[in-house]
Amino acid sequence: MILNLSEGKKPFIAYLLLKFMIFIGSDHAGFEMKEAIKWHLENTETPFEDLGAHQFEVEDDYPDIAKVVCERIQKEGGKGILVCGTGQGMTIAANKFRGIRASLCWNEATVKVAAEHNDANVIALPGRIISKEEGVKLVKLWLKTSFSKEERHNRRITKIKEFEKGKVHL
């Protein structure tokens, strides 16, 4: 049977094949972009959970949101999308969590490398640097791009995992 799927349904098919849940979160500076990403995920029936902020709150702190998202990925697997003003704070915070490979992404090239080379299980987007429409485009690209599984990239990721096992003196 040939399925005639619209472009918008492809992320849903990616979920059926890969079976991963997407956890999303933002601070106030990423709130609008997160809402746009949510809208896109809802419209493409892509399974996700919004872990906050649930309303615009100028005093919220990005590490709190990064923590909630990363702990869920540690427990349940899946992938994460974090948005703050520059994406940098979320990236720094997320990479403190064992098993998380968070990449700061701001254009197509950075998204492709994050997926194909770094096998990033979290992307962080800069809500104050790029438009929310660009943010949504980057999410679409990330969801359809897979890890290359090339030996050199596996080797490099294995070395990063060794840092987490305490095999190097930090």
Our CB check for ligand RB5 shows the closer of 104 and 143 to be: 104
Distance CA 1, CA 115 (A): 30
Our CB check for ligand RB5 shows the closer of 23 and 62 to be: 62
Which residue among the candidates 28, 40, 70, 84 is catalytic per the annotation? 84
Q: How far is the CB of 146 from ligand RB5 (least distance, A)?
A: 28
Say whether 117 is catalytic. yes
Measure CA of the first residue to CA of the last residue in the chain; give whole Å: 54
Angle in degrees, CA 123, 129, 132, rounded to 5 = 70
Distance CA 149, CA 67 (A): 28
- List contacts with ligand RB5 (CB under 6 A): 27, 29, 62, 84-86, 88-89
Q: How far is the CB of 130 from ligand RB5 (least distance, A)?
A: 13
Q: How far is the CB of 145 from ligand RB5 (least distance, A)?
A: 24
Strand partners, 81: 24, 123
Q: Is 29 left (phi over 0), alpha (psi -120 to 50) or beta?
A: alpha
Our CB check for ligand RB5 shows the closer of 78 and 126 to be: 126
The residues annotated with a catalytic role in the active site are: 84, 117
